[in-house]
Amino acid sequence: MRYAHAVADVRAAERELMARLPEGALMQRAAFGLATVAADMLRDAGSVYGSRVALLVGVGDNGGDALYAGALLAGRGVAVHALLADPDRAHEGGLSALRDAGGRIVADAAVLDQADLVVDGLLGIGGRGGLRGEFARLAEAAHESGAPILAVDLPSGIEADTGEVSGPAVRADVTVTFGTHKPGLFVDPGASHAGIVEFVDIGLEFPPSVEPVLENLQVQDVRALLPAPGRSSHKYSRGVVGLAVGSERYPGAALLAVGAALRSGVGAVRYSGPVDVVSSYPEVIAGGGKVQAWVVGSGLGRDDEAVRRLLNVLATDVPVVVDADGLRLLPRKAFERSAPTIITPHAGEAAALLDVTAEQIEGQRLEYVRRLAQSYDATVVLKGPLTLIAGPQTSRVRVNTHAGPVLATAGSGDVLAGIIGGLLAGGLSPYDAASAGAYLHGATGLLAARSGPVAAGDLVASLPLAWHNIQE
Ligand SMILES: NC(=O)C1=CN([C@@H]2O[C@H](COP(=O)(O)OP(=O)(O)OC[C@H]3O[C@@H](n4cnc5c(N)ncnc54)[C@H](OP(=O)(O)O)[C@@H]3O)[C@@H](O)[C@H]2O)[C@@H](O)CC1
Ligand SMILES: [K+]
């Protein structure tokens, strides 16, 4: 598992560690990690010795990290030039270290045009709001130079705790983050400014009483969650999932969701609805009956019949996944259910559920995924390039980073709903089913994309191998 911690908790952990170390040791660790990544980038692009690096330096310790890393690079034969956002307030120790190593402090931003790499040390966890004044001008000049940008701790101008971006911000190719991930590196739009995130361990420790803001499941976490059939398993003990999805108008949603559910580790799949799924999937049991979880909504349409099918499912006492049209029809009072509910909105559906705009959701994803979980007393899967998962009983949010743009294809959501429903029926908690489901769905997309452009049916076809790869 990877974790992201709140800035206040990072500060506390930093104080605790600093008290046990010689002065400046923590910044040296950070600068060494930063210089190592910078040197790797320079080497990949040609060579370290003889290359040119420009530092953008703010007024806090983020700029200090950049200056000390610049000194280390200068010691390896790199021509290092530092541009200071406010020369009177730049980190003094860092400035002397850079000068002593042969680096130069310059005022002319033209050095950016010759740079092989720009290091963004304008703002770190002390930043508030978008970049202002000279900070914004330096960032803009760096973007215009076209040189690759390496951000220190986080791209300057993004909110570390939320990923919100309220003004000018650096768009980095790589970000080196220290001690723990910052939530803003995992949540869009901030995350989309970070590029590839490299983690440098500087020895920060968090006591068990400190809750991370975000959890990011790794393959071993998902492996531990996926149900594995034992010797004594039979089809009912492995779980039966029911699907009330698809309609005469949208039969494809039923085929995709059922296809995915059949490959989600369950013992059996029941289908309730007007679509002939049995011709394609003879394994399916047509009609209702006892199930351990329901999926409802995908391709349901929005007519009276759709409402009836939705309410029937919500009236059951088993966990339910509500997707797509089901979300558009969702009455809030239906959430006085005795069993858990999972909802799987994209930003537009989330906006309708909360009566706000999709832009508001996209701008404050962490805030709104939590608000949805509270308002609807449900586990929420807020879909997007970085899907967020929130539960009604936990303040920790999970984020899925194991995915790619191929998932943005028609029918992809039907597949996700089928997978999550299957995992729920297999006995996972709603929070685990939603997060492992998002990972598995992402894994099918990444796998299918190896063979070229991907349709949602390819996601279904790739599920068994994606599952197998996770269990290897
Ligand atoms: N914690 C750790 O474990 C370690 C931390 N380390 C490093 O320290 C970094 C944090 O350093 P930090 O606290 O000095 O804050 P930092 O972000 O450099 O500067 C903040 C200052 O900038 C200003 N300012 C704010 N917003 C602005 C805006 N929008 N536009 C323009 N200016 C703005 C504001 O000054 P103001 O002008 O408002 O007085 C504020 O005081 C951290 O990210 C990491 O890199 C590592 O070295 C070792 C381990
Ligand atoms: K930065």
For residue 299, which of 320, 329, 319 has the smallest C-alpha distance?
329
For residues 198 and 227, membership in a common domain is answered with no
* pLDDT above 90: residue 261: yes
Split at pLDDT 50, 70, 90, the class of 208 is: very high
Residue in 34, 37, 59 to alter for ligand 1 test, most ligand atoms within 8 A of Cβ: 59
What is the Å distance from ligand 2's center to 122 Cα? 5
452 alpha carbon – ligand 2 mean position (Å): 36
Q: How many structural domains does the chain have?
A: 2
Q: What angle do CA 267, 270, 275 make, to 5 degrees?
A: 140
Distance CA 305, CA 250 (A): 13
Residue pLDDT, tens place only, 37-56: 999 999 999 999 999 999 99
Residue with tokens 């970070």: 194
The pLDDT tens digits for 64-122 are 999 999 999 999 999 999 999 999 999 999 999 999 999 999 999 999 999 999 999 99
At 149-185, the pLDDT tens digits run: 999 999 999 999 999 999 999 999 999 999 999 999 9
Q: Would you say residue 235 has pLDDT above 90? A: no
pLDDT for position 333: 67
Contact 125, 182 (CB under 8 A): yes
Q: Are residues 443 and 364 in the same domain?
A: yes
pLDDT value of position 76: 98
- The model's confidence at residue 229, banded by pLDDT at 50, 70 and 90, is confident
Under the banding of pLDDT at 50, 70 and 90, the label for residue 434 is: very high
pLDDT at 10 over 90: yes
Evaluate: CB of 445 within 6 angstroms of ligand 1.
no
As given in the structure block, the two tokens for residue 71 are 């000194």
Pocket flag, ligand 1, residue 168 (CB < 6 Å): no
Question: How far apart, in whole angstroms, are the C-alpha atoms of residue 113 and residue 18?
Answer: 38
Contact predicate 394/435, CB 8 Å: no
Mind listing the pLDDT tens digit for each residue in 279-313? 999 999 999 899 999 999 999 999 999 999 999 99
Collect all residues with Cβ–Cβ distance below 8 Å to 116 and sequence separation of at least 6: 42, 45, 46, 51, 52, 53, 147, 148
Burial of 423 (C-beta count, 10 Å sphere; 0-12/13-18/19+)? buried
Residue 201 domain boundaries: 2-216
Ligand nearest to the CA of 172: 2
Q: Per-residue pLDDT averaged across 354-374, rounded?
A: 97
Q: Please give the ipTM for the structure prediction.
A: 0.98
| CATH number, domain containing residue 85 | 3.40.50.10260
Ligand 1: which residue has its CA nearest to atom 4?
Answer: 14
Ligand 1 centroid to Cα of residue 132, in Å, is 14
Please work out whether the CB of residue 59 comes within 6 Å of at least one atom of ligand 1: yes
Rg (C-alpha) for the chain, rounded Å, is 25
Q: Point out the ligand nearest to the CA of residue 58.
A: 1
Closest residue by CA, ligand 1 atom 39: 59
Q: In this structure, are 59 and 39 located in the same domain?
A: yes
Are 129 and 224 found together in one domain? no
Binding residues for K(+): 62, 120, 156
What residue's CA is closest to ligand 1, atom 48? 27
Q: Report which bound ligand comes closest to the CA of 85.
A: 1
Ligand 1 atom closest to the Cα of residue 17 is 3
Identify whether residues 347 and 373 lie together within a single domain: yes
Peptide bond preceding 189: is omega within 30 degrees of 0, i.e. cis? Answer: yes
Please tell me the number of the ligand nearest to residue 27's CA.
1
Same-domain pairing of 153 and 260: no
Ligand sitting nearest the alpha carbon of 177: 1
120 lines ligand 1 (CB under 6 A): no
Which of 156, 182, 216 is the last residue in one of the domains? 216
Q: Is 66 in the pocket of ligand 1 (CB under 6 A)?
A: no
CATH of the domain at 318: 3.40.1190.20
Cβ of residue 431 lying under 6 Å from some atom of ligand 1: no
Domain boundary among 216, 248, 263: 216
pLDDT for residue 334: 60
Do residues 231 and 133 share a domain? no
Query: Ligand 1 atom 27: the closest Cα is on which residue?
Result: 127
Q: Which ranges of 75-199 does DSSP label H, i.e. alpha helix?
A: 92-100, 111-114, 133-145
Q: Please state, in angstroms and rounded to a whole number, the distance separating the CA atoms of residues 409 and 403.
A: 13
Are 268 and 408 in the same domain? yes
Tell me if 14 CB under 6 Å of ligand 1: yes
Ligand 1 contacts CB of residue 62 (under 6 A)? yes
Q: Is the CB of 155 under 6 A from ligand 1?
A: no
Q: How many CB atoms lie within 10 A of CB 148?
A: 19
Confirm if 245 and 300 have CB atoms less than 8 A apart: yes
| Residue ranges of the binding site | 61-65, 120, 124-130, 153, 156, 253, 299, 346, 383-387, 413-414
Note whether 255 and 388 are same-domain residues: yes
CA atoms within 13 A on the CB side of 381: 29
317-334 mean pLDDT: 90
- Index of the ligand 1 atom closest to the CA of residue 65: 47
Domain match, 278 and 382 both: yes
Ligand 1 atom having least distance to the Cα of 202: 49
**Considering the chain, what is the average pLDDT of its residues?**
96
CA-proximal residue: ligand 1, atom 35 (nearest) = 59
Nearest-angstrom CA–CA distance, 12 and 10: 5
Do 197 and 302 share a domain, yes or no? no
pLDDT at 137: 98
Q: How far is the CA of 386 from the centre of ligand 1 (A)?
A: 26
Contact 63, 121 (CB under 8 A): yes
The angle subtended at Cα 443 by Cα 232 and Cα 213, nearest 5°, is 95
Same-domain check for residues 171 and 301: no
Average pLDDT on 329-352 reads 90
How many angstroms is it from 117 CA to the middle of ligand 1?
A: 22
Of 190, 216, 242, the residue at which a domain comes to its end is 216
